[in-house]
Amino acid sequence: MKILIIEDEPELAQSIAEYLSGKSYLCEFASTFDQAQNKIHSYHYDCILLDIMLPGGNGLKLLEELSSMDKQDGVIIISARDALDDKIAGLQTGADDYLTKPFHLAELAARIYSVIRRKQFGNTNTIQHNELRIDLPAKTVSVRGRNIALTRKEFDLLIYFIGNKNRVISKSTLAEHLSGEFADMLDNHDFVYAHIKNLKKKLQDSGCASYLKTIYGTGYRWG
Amino acid sequence: MKKSLLHKTLLPITLYSLFVLSASVPAYYYLVDSIWLEELDEHNLSIAKQTENELNKLNLSDEELAGSILLWNKIQPGTNLKELPRHVPGPDSVYTVWKQDPYEEHKDIDRFRGLARHIMINDKPYELIIETNIEETEEIVLAISLVTLFFFLVLVAGFLLLNRKLSAQLWKPFRNTLDRLKSFNLSSQTSIAFEKTDILEFEELNDVLQKLIAKNISVYRLQKEFTENASHELQTPLAIIKNKLDLLLQKETLTDRQYQIIEEANKALTRLSRINKNLLLLAKIENHQFDNNESIPVSSLISQSLGQLKEHSDNKNLEVVFDPDAEATVNGNKTLCEILINNLLLNAIRHNNPNGIIRIKADQQGISVANSGSNALDSEAMFKRFANVSSTNAGSGLGLAIIRQICLRHGWNISYQFSDHFHIFRIRF
């Protein structure tokens, strides 16, 4: 998958690329408005990460250009601006998702995964991971044809891990993912442990291989 | 009771015109009187001279003269011709005397203007006295006063009518300015365009107001940009650190202890990020950047928030009792209300004992959130920023400050009470 990272802060762009690197993702960079414009007009990407606050121009303009070019590239806005107005403006101009800095790279990866799958597979969006089959739009999971009943949070965690294959994700990162706004306000992250335990058990009970591993005591990895 | 400006000027002007017009009455009286007296003096003098001339011209003998004088004195009341024993040269004497006029019906005392003159008839000295009735003074005074009163009333009526007409007309530019000021909204960032007026003071007022507003708008914009830029600047290095930690986690050769350290660093970063966001939020609220209002269904917002937090309240095995009034609505900013409710409920969960209770009430008058607790909090300091931060309390210390600021902005009242081992927060709309 080709990813275009439009971000003027080099350390951030570098970190994203490093996290995403591997067999699945190929990353390109643009750090100014003009560079981004050139790249957009010349190439096609599976997903574009767009920072609104760009030197040389407003990122939203690029978004408008993308819409007018009728391109199918997925767009995720990454911005330090948290205001509701900015989010609404971004999504209305055609972005597929909006992520506020600072975010965990795992969160970004999960969103990229979702956006790409939605854009490319639409209604027949199923993930096949060996014996595991996930129907994304229907939100059902089956192992060798047999359905597993997962709660909404367990399903969400499953997709999150699939989108972050082979990456170590810490408990606090998962807590932030599950609680969003309130993550740090709550002292106890044990609820994360409970969800993971349940998910693991259900997968195991249905005969699925144990892809979800516990590392370092409270870290997790899929694959 | 406040009076309009033109009404306030009406009284002094009316009093002044009353005073001036009243003063004019005696002034006119004395003027008319003195002219009239002068005329009478001339009239008396001319009669005296004429009498002297004609009598001398007649060339009467002494007997005829005496007889004529007798006749004269009898038929000319108010005049008297008297022979003098010897020639007493002297000037004319002009005087005024009050006496009853014998020929008038009424018994009033009239005013007479007299002239006493020494004349020579047939070379003999005589004293001629002529007294003429000055017109009744009361009639003059009455006539002048009535006319003056009439003019005074015309003046006052005129003032009132003019007042009313001018009030609407003259003050129109001022009222225009007032209206535009009333409908001014700082956060809309549009300057006011005042109507041009040809009245010096109002034009000056408009000019000064325009400058003041322009300055206000630019200060507001600068502050807004500053707070947003500051927050943005802070979030970027935070994001970098967070992401570097994410990457560090991927290194294969980590020990358990190293992983823990990274975890702790990450938690601190999340907290720092939250403090930054909250400070920005506070600044925005204080800077009136949440000015939109709408009708908010209070109970459904609370239900929504409870749903999101259910997992966390369940973790502590808390019993949540919510008594909703489905009709309860309040006018306010939706975003801020959501934040308010979330903060209240989060606090109720965090500062609760395991197996505790949360009681929530919402109606048209307000909201109350009560949670079981152990020790009363310091109600004085609690709403200040960072008042309650401790190592056991992972919050940002700004939650209550934000709640308080949101209440302030809406004009709501918030109070805290600790009773029956319950922390109770009440918000009155």
* Model confidence pLDDT, tens digit, residues B184-214: 877 677 788 888 888 888 889 989 998 999 8
Shared domain for A86 and A135, answered yes or no, is: no
B349 and B314 Cβ atoms separated by less than 8 Å: no
Write down the pLDDT at residue B396: 59
Q: State pLDDT tens for residues B110-156.
A: 788 888 888 888 888 888 888 888 776 667 777 888 888 888 889 88
Residue with tokens 């801020």: B336
Write down the pLDDT at residue A187: 65
Write down the pLDDT at residue A158: 93
Q: What is the mean pLDDT of residues B248-264?
A: 90
Q: Are strands A132-135 and A140-143 parallel, antiparallel or unpaired?
A: antiparallel
Strand ranges (DSSP E) for B108-255?
109-121, 124-134
Cα–Cα distance, B314 to B292 (Å, whole number):
35
Shared domain for A81 and A157, answered yes or no, is: no
- In this complex, which of B250, B311, B392 lies closest to A167 when CB atoms are compared? B250
H helical segments located in B287-357? 298-315, 334-350
Q: Which domain holds residue A146?
A: 123-222
Last residue of a domain, one of A62, A96, A120: A120
Shared domain for A57 and A18, answered yes or no, is: yes
Is B13 an 8 Å CB contact of chain A? no
Report percent pLDDT > 90 for chain B: 14
Shared domain for A105 and A141, answered yes or no, is: no
Residues of chain A with Cβ-Cβ distance to B399 below 8 Å are 185
The structure tokens listed for B346 are: 């989060």
Q: How confident is the model at residue B105 (pLDDT cuts 50, 70, 90)?
A: low
- Say yes or no to pLDDT of A1 above 60: yes
Q: What is the mean pLDDT of residues A131-144?
A: 90
Residues near A4 by Cβ (< 8 Å), separated by ≥ 6? Answer: A27, A28, A29, A30, A36, A39, A40, A43, A45, A47, A48, A49, A73
Q: Do A80 and B254 count as a contact with CB atoms less than 8 A apart?
A: no
Write down the pLDDT at residue B352: 86
The structure tokens listed for A103 are: 């975010």
Shared domain for A23 and A66, answered yes or no, is: yes
**Ramachandran angles phi, psi of A122, nearest 5°:** 50, -120
Write down the pLDDT at residue A197: 92
Q: How confident is the model at residue A4 (pLDDT cuts 50, 70, 90)?
A: very high
Shared domain for A116 and A141, answered yes or no, is: no
Residues of chain A with Cβ-Cβ distance to B338 below 8 Å are none
Provide the CATH number for the domain around residue A158. 1.10.10.10
- The H or E element that residue A78 is part of is strand A74-79
Whole-prediction pTM: 0.68
Q: How far is CA A57 from the centre of its chain?
A: 26
Q: Are strands A2-6 and A47-51 parallel, antiparallel or unpaired?
A: parallel
What order of strands is seen across the sheet that includes strand B79-83? B79-83, B124-134, B109-121, B93-100
Q: Do B312 and A184 count as a contact with CB atoms less than 8 A apart?
A: no
- The H or E element that residue B67 is part of is helix B62-75
Last residue of a domain, one of A86, A120, A154: A120
Write down the pLDDT at residue B260: 92
Q: What amino acid occupies position A211?
A: Y
B312 and A186 Cβ atoms separated by less than 8 Å: yes
SS3 label, residue A35:
helix
Q: How confident is the model at residue B340 (pLDDT cuts 50, 70, 90)?
A: very high
Q: What is the mean pLDDT of residues B174-187?
A: 83
Domain map (residue ranges) of chain B: 23-152, 201-285, 292-428
The structure tokens listed for B203 are: 């034009």
Residues near B228 by Cβ (< 8 Å), separated by ≥ 6? Answer: A81, B280
Please, what sign has the CA dihedral across residues A86, A88, A91, A94? negative
Shared domain for A75 and A147, answered yes or no, is: no
- In this complex, which of A102, A170, A188 lies closest to B235 when CB atoms are compared? A102
Quote the number of domains for chain A.
2
Shared domain for A127 and A91, answered yes or no, is: no
Q: State pLDDT tens for residues A15-42.
A: 999 999 877 899 999 999 999 999 999 9
- Greater pLDDT, A12 or B100: A12
Cα–Cα distance, B360 to B345 (Å, whole number):
9
Q: Which residues pair with B97 in a beta bridge?
A: B112
**A-contacting residues of B 271-330, CB under 8 Å?**
271, 273-274, 277, 280, 308-309, 311-312, 315-316
Among A19, A30, A74, smallest CA distance to A54 is for: A30
Residues of chain B with Cβ-Cβ distance to A178 below 8 Å are 311
Cα–Cα distance, B417 to B352 (Å, whole number):
15
Min Cα distance A53 → chain B (Å) is 10
Q: What amino acid occupies position A176?
A: E
- Say yes or no to pLDDT of A181 above 70: no
Around A138, how many Cα atoms within 13 Å sit in the side-chain half-sphere?
13
Min Cα distance A189 → chain B (Å) is 10
- The H or E element that residue A132 is part of is strand A132-135
Provide the CATH number for the domain around residue A99. 3.40.50.2300
- Greater pLDDT, B179 or A27: A27
Mean pLDDT taken over chain A: 89
B336 and B406 Cβ atoms separated by less than 8 Å: yes
Shared domain for A91 and A152, answered yes or no, is: no
Write down the pLDDT at residue B102: 66
Out of A46-55, A103-112, B161-170, B325-334, which region has the weakest mean confidence (pLDDT)?
B161-170
Q: If phi over 0 gives left and psi between -120 and 50 gives alpha, with beta otherwise, what is residue B40?
A: alpha
- Domain B23-152 in CATH 3.30.450? The answer is yes
Classified by CATH at the fold level, domain B292-428 comes out as Heat Shock Protein 90 (3.30.565)
Shared domain for A11 and A109, answered yes or no, is: yes
Strand ranges (DSSP E) for chain A?
2-6, 26-30, 47-51, 53-54, 57-58, 74-79, 97-100, 126-129, 132-135, 140-143, 146-148, 168-170, 212-215, 219-222
Q: What is the mean pLDDT of residues A193-209?
A: 91
Q: What is the mean pLDDT of residues A118-137?
A: 85
Last residue of a domain, one of A120, A138, A156: A120
Q: State pLDDT tens for residues A66-91.
A: 988 888 899 999 988 877 888 999 99
Shared domain for A116 and A128, answered yes or no, is: no
Largest CA distance in chain A: 55
**Ramachandran angles phi, psi of A40, nearest 5°:** -60, -40
Write down the pLDDT at residue A57: 85
Shared domain for A113 and A131, answered yes or no, is: no
Write down the pLDDT at residue B391: 47
Cα–Cα distance, B83 to B75 (Å, whole number):
18
Q: Are strands A2-6 and A26-30 parallel, antiparallel or unpaired?
A: parallel
Among B75, B133, B73, B130, smallest CA distance to B99 is for: B133
Query: For testing the chain A interface, which of B231, B243, B284, B316 should be mutated: the one with the most A CBs within 10 Å?
Result: B243
Q: State pLDDT tens for residues B13-58.
A: 888 888 888 888 888 888 888 888 888 889 888 988 888 888 888 8
Q: Do A80 and B274 count as a contact with CB atoms less than 8 A apart?
A: no
What is B201-285's CATH number? Answer: 1.20.58
